[in-house]
Structure 1
Amino acid sequence: MSSSNAVKESAKKLVNLLEKYPKDRIPHLVSFKDIQIARFGRVAGLPNVDHEGNSIKQKKPSIDEIKSIINRTSGPLGLNKEMLTKIQNKIIDEKFTEESINEQFRALSCIMNNKFRNYYDVGDKLYKPAGNPHYYQRLIDAVDGKKKENLLTAMRTVLFGK
C-alpha cells in the first residue's frame, strides 16, 4: 500500500469515527465535528456533504465570469504581489502522514471513550460539595434547558446559595 493510499485509508477511518462523535449540546456557529469531517474528508478524497448527508456541489465559475474578473483587475484579483505573498505565507499547508492521522484517531477515541475521565475519577466530594450539593446539577439542568429559574428563585440562589 503506497503512503498516499495509507493516508487516505487512515483519514477515512478518522472520518468514520468523527461521524460517531456526539452532536454539540450547545449549538455554536461552527461545530468541531463538522469542521474536522470536512478537513479530513478532503484528505480521504470523500465528497463534500452537509449535516444531513446531502452532497454539496461547488459552483464553478463560467468562462464569462472568469473573463470579467480578469478584465476588471489590474493584478491577480486586484491584489498587489506583496499582499499575495503575505497571504500565501500565512496559509497553512497541511501535510498529513499516516502516523499523524492515526495519532489523532487514538486521541479522539480516548475522548469518546472517556478514558481520562474514568482514569482520574473524582468522587462525590467534588461533584456535590457540602456547602451547595445541587450546584452542578442546577448548571447541567440550565444548559440542557430542563429547569429554568425565574427571577425569585435566582435571587434566592444568589442571596442564600441554595
Structure 2
Amino acid sequence: MTSQAIKDSAKQLLKIISKLPDERIKHLVSFKDSQTERFRRVAGLQPADKAERKASLEDIKDIINRTSGPLGLQKDLLKKVQATLPQDNLTEQSIQEQIRALTNIANNKYKKYYDVGDKLYKPAGNPTYYQRIVDEIEGKQKETFFSAMRTVLFGK
C-alpha cells in the first residue's frame, strides 16, 4: 500500500462526503465537516479556510511530540496524554471499506432494502403521530398547549 494510493483513496472519499446533505439539526460538531477535515489531511490537501483554522488534533500531537514539556506539563502526565491520543492508522483497504459504506448510506441502500411501509409510519391508532414530530422538529407547525393536552388525553 503506497502513500499515493492512500491519498487518492482519501480524495475519492472526500468527493463522496461532499455529496452528503447537510445535517438538518445543527450540532456542535458536524459529521460532514469533521470527516472532511480529517480526510483533507490524509489526502494532503490544505484546509478550506486557512484564516479561520483552529488547532487540529494533528497540531496538538505535533506540539506534544516536539517539546519535552509543553505548557509546563510533567513528563508522566505528558505520557498519559500521548497514550490517550487516537492514532490514525489508515490503509488503502480501510479507506475503500469506508468508501463502500458511505456510498451505501448516500444511496439509501438499506432504507430501500429494508422498506418499512405505511403500517409503521402511519399506525392505525394515531396516523399523524410521526408527521407531527417531524413538523415540530422542522418548525413547520407548532403545537399549542390545548392541542398537546388533546393529544395526551385522547391519543390523537
The TM-score, its normalising length taken from structure 1, stands at 0.83
Identity %: 58
Could you tell me which residue of structure 2 aligns to residue 104 of structure 1?
98
Report how far residue 75 of structure 1 moved.
Answer: 4.1
Could you tell me which residue of structure 2 aligns to residue 3 of structure 1?
2
Report how far residue 41 of structure 1 moved.
Answer: 0.8
CA–CA separation in structure 1 for the residues paired with 2:134 and 2:23: 14
In the alignment, is residue 127 of structure 1 matched against residue 121 of structure 2?
yes
The TM-score, its normalising length taken from structure 2, stands at 0.86
Could you tell me which residue of structure 1 aligns to residue 74 of structure 2?
80
What is the CA deviation profile of residues 108-143 of structure 1, one whole-angstrom value per residue up to 9, with x for unaligned ones? 110111101100111211111110011011111111
In the alignment, is residue 136 of structure 1 matched against residue 130 of structure 2?
yes
CA–CA separation in structure 2 for the residues paired with 1:75 and 1:86: 13
Bigger Rg over Cα: 1
- Stretches of structure 2 lacking an aligned partner (at least 5 in a row): 55-67
Helix, strand or coil at the partner of 1:28 = coil
CA–CA separation in structure 2 for the residues paired with 1:138 and 1:46: 44
Pair 75,4 (structure 1): closer, same or farther in 2 beyond 3 Å: closer
Contact 2:69 2:78 in 1 (8 A): no
- 1:1-162 mapped onto 2 (5 Å cutoff): 3-49=2-48, 55-57=49-51, 75-162=69-156
- Stretches of structure 1 lacking an aligned partner (at least 5 in a row): 50-54, 60-73
Report how far residue 31 of structure 1 moved.
Answer: 0.4
